[in-house]
Structure 1
Amino acid sequence: MTSEKNLRGVLRSEVDRSLSKDNIIIVDSLNSIKGYRYELWCLARAAGIRHCVLFTDVEETHCRKWNTERREKDESSYNDGIFEDLVRRFERPDRRNRWDSPLFELWPFKDGIEKSSPAIVDLVSYVTKKVDSKTRDVKILQPTIATQSVRFSEANSLYEMDRATQEVTSAIIEAQSLAMGGPVTGLSISHDLPTINISRSVGLPELRRLRKTFIKLTGQSSLSGPPPPSDADSAKRMFIDYLNREFGSE
């Protein structure tokens, strides 16, 4: 369950990063429970885009048969414990729920699945149709003030992080230039920030690599913890601490 929860978090983050008004995102994994479908719907609402659900309705007996046949062919399949758990926790989409609407349904064992299947044709039309002020059959989700504020805060944090780390990098390069390429120890950018101590000469490519790694690590940690710092001084302090740890361990 822990690995499934972590995977859902990674998948949700990838979806969030990929959402835009110009992309069509298909999420065909781990969305068998309504709570997760609601989370995906919230991401779509925050992005201000359209959203829909395609449900392939297959009876449990057929699913069980498919899984057994795949196992006999040494193809990817679920073991009995996982299969029973998935069946037990599965929650059918309900078009009365806003996060399951609009709902397009396929019945493979009754109608088959073809590109011309009505549900597929209707779905493709829904996600690709041009929308204007007169459109009534396509719903564009509208972000709330709360979701807009969160996205603005995240964007602001990334901007401050990028700018602050660039200033620290530039200060180190300038200090090394004044020291004729020698080590930088006791470099102070501000009296409110830690001093920078680098015991050897560091080239710009290495500093750029460390800066890129730091920004990436900070972004990843914010997925499960607090967001990145939104002010420049905090970002500089974190980056300086990171550099001192990196070079202090050599």
Structure 2
Amino acid sequence: MNNTVIHPANTRGHANHGWLDAHHTFSFASYYDPNRVQFGVLRVLNDDIIAPGMGFGTHPHDNMEIITIPLEGDLAHKDSMGNTEVIKFGDVQVMSAGTGIQHSEFNPNHDQRTNLLQIWVFPKHRNVEPRYQQITLNVTDRHNQFQQVLSPNADDDGVWIHQDAWFHMSNMDAGTSLEYKRKLEGNGLYVFVIKGNVTVDGQDLSQRDGMGFTNFEKITFEATSDAEILLMEVPMQQ
């Protein structure tokens, strides 16, 4: 029997700082809900809109796998490892903070906003050497199928992190059905609907809704409209 948790979009934490309009699926910054601290090793799922020309000044991280997925616009990144990059829609970026890094993130455009997902995953090993990885994916490869965008394996599709986790994305046409099979026994699956409407194992979900599954082997997805989804399979034990 699947054990599930549902997080409707309108129950997320919300902070509008003017230059930053942020929604938090899990407890973050001034938003705290003891029932929504994390889902297994998935610690943060932030849906951030950054105003033109604005961003996060230099700040530190350690012992966290930090994944950034731009949904709209661009993000300029600079870090203490010497990386200076711009990430765009279709890109996926990961930083293994490990023993410690500092970075800044800005919207480099002065005429459009940036919308991104920032995801934090607790690592399998502490105090690893910090690393940076950025790739550009062919978005057409997720049309009515699951495109792997993250895994534990450096030689596999997508970016890799220091954790037994797999992320997939799909753009589903209305009426399409897909099935996801668990990669590793004991892992859970957190589903985030980026756009549209999807029925997930019989549960209707809409834009920005989230749903977590534990004790599962496979999950069925049916798009009731054109939809975009992100699947995050993660260990449930830290």
TM-score by length of 1: 0.24
Higher helix share: 1
TM-score by length of 2: 0.25
Structure of higher CA gyration radius: 1
Higher strand share: 2
